[in-house]
Amino acid sequence: MEAVVNEARKRLEIALAPQKPPTLEEVLAEIGRRGVLSGSLDRVVEGYKNYVSYVTGKVLEVFKLSDREVSALQSFSHDIITILEKVRQESGQKLNVIKREIDKGYIPNSVKVVEYKGHVSFYVYLRRHSAYSHFPDLLKVSRDELEMFQIGWRASDETAIGNLAAMGTTQPWQVFAWLAARPGEVKLEVGTLILTRRGPSLMFFLTSLDWEQKWDKSVAIKHAVKYIQQGEYRPLLTWWLGDGSVKWSFVEKRRYKLRIAVGDEIKRALLSEIASYAERDQRYVYIKGGKALFKSLIEAAGRYGELLEILGPHKWLYLKTVYKPRKKRRKPTYAGGRRIKGLIDPIPGVVMNLLIVFNEGGALWATKYLPTREEAENLATALRAYGLEPRVVKQGPGFTVYLPTSELRKIASEKVRRAIIQFLEEKLKHATSQRHKTIIERLIKKFN
């Protein structure tokens, strides 16, 4: 029980840590990498509000909408942002109360603890903040064509409330992606906050008031399989957007694997009906097809793909890696010179070394070598509590924890920024090649 209490305390510290709002570039980068934002409650909420406004503006630029549809989309955006602000206000108060109780050594009844296969989740239930809104028809295709996309969503994340289609998600991009397939009147709700190791996660729940639920999950999967066999990939696309599992190391090594999370019973059925395979003791099925399948899914998206381009989620960008030229892998080239050392303390009690990496466009890292994985993971956890996203890599007999450039720029401390700029300016004085000088000058601009 003590371990669970300590874990809850760590996650609360992350949620309540003071952090500045993310830039739009940081928001889009995180959505494009994992589909969600990390960090404190304030950072996550501000980031999502920024994202909703951005998506709304881009949709109005790309899609030709009537004045009435423009007004509807703007009202929809306003409704989500209003709900997010209300959730922030209630959650901030509630999390502070919960933390005071956890500091006494116990988890209050207002937090539901769910343990599953060694993982623990903490659910905080809020008042249901809701709004009735309208999402316009962006795709303007026939109901039969919309049904192709609806089948895939039902095969994955979609559910039913009474006889109506509904959807729950912690990823705001899925709110827009799902409603594009279920346009019309909708009830928006946020009533649950989940404390994760990366920060608080909000559960959005949507009920379509204009669409009845036609299928249960197993029937939708059978329909999707039938269409895949016929070479119709739209249901598979939205099935992937719902239950697909991104593993970037696959595509970085040019292994184009489409991996979808399924239950054991469904996995057995799929293996016998479509070209697929599964690895032992995994809850995934891999749909065969490789690079050609990725391209088929992108082509099948059609108008829907234009919306996914705006949303920029990790699952869509994962598919689009088939069009990226392969980069030659080289060992990192580091800045030399023992006489110039850079030390910073990104968080209290932690000192890290600054290191310039000259590969490709160049980067600045803060690094710390630790002899054991446990020590490295403990340091990474401490950094996450301050809203940072460290990387942990194996190095020789031990491990290195490092903060890349994008994470270093999040550190608001003037002392740290001065130390970084001083380090870079000293390195610039002793740089021996024009390329190195250009990279260092670019890094200095980033931190000024």
Q: What is the pLDDT along the chain (448 residues), one digit of tens a residue?
A: 788 898 999 899 999 988 889 899 999 999 998 999 989 999 999 999 999 999 999 999 999 999 999 999 999 999 999 999 999 999 999 999 999 999 898 899 889 998 877 788 899 999 999 999 999 999 999 999 999 999 999 999 999 999 999 999 999 999 999 999 999 999 999 999 999 988 999 999 999 999 999 999 999 999 999 999 999 999 999 999 999 999 888 888 888 999 999 888 888 888 888 888 887 778 899 999 999 999 999 999 999 999 999 999 999 999 999 998 665 545 444 444 444 568 888 888 889 999 998 875 688 999 999 989 888 988 988 888 888 889 988 888 889 999 999 888 888 678 888 889 989 988 888 887 888 888 898 899 888 7
The predicted structure's pLDDT at residue 283: 85
Instruction: State residue 171's pLDDT score.
Output: 96
Which pLDDT does position 338 carry in this prediction? 42
Residue whose structure tokens are 């270093």: 408
> What is the residue extent of each domain of the chain?
1-236, 340-446
pLDDT at 332: 47
Q: What angle do CA 346, 351, 352 make, to 5 degrees?
A: 80
List the one residue out of 409, 371, 386 whose CA is nearest residue 43.
386
If phi > 0 it is left, if psi is from -120 to 50 it is alpha, else beta; for residue 47 that is alpha
Structure-token pair, residue 109: 């009844």
For the segment(s) 340-446, the CATH number from 3.10.28, 3.30.1360, 3.40.1580, 2.60.40 is: 3.10.28
The whole-number pLDDT of residue 341 equals: 66
Token duo for residue 363: 């980067």
Residue carrying structure tokens 């595509």 = 251
Contact predicate 74/56, CB 8 Å: yes
The per-residue pLDDT for 152 is 97
Q: 390 vs 312, 343, 377, 385, 423, CA distance in Å?
A: 23, 17, 10, 11, 21
pLDDT at residue number 3: 83
Handedness of CA 390, 391, 396, 398 (dihedral sign): positive
Q: Would you state the pLDDT for residue 335?
A: 47
CB-based burial of residue 194 (10 Å sphere; 0-12 exposed, 13-18 middle, 19+ buried)? Answer: middle
Q: How many other β-carbons are positioned within 10 Å of the β-carbon of residue 185?
A: 13
Residue with tokens 């059609």: 302
| Helical ranges in 156-247 per DSSP H | 172-181, 217-229, 234-243
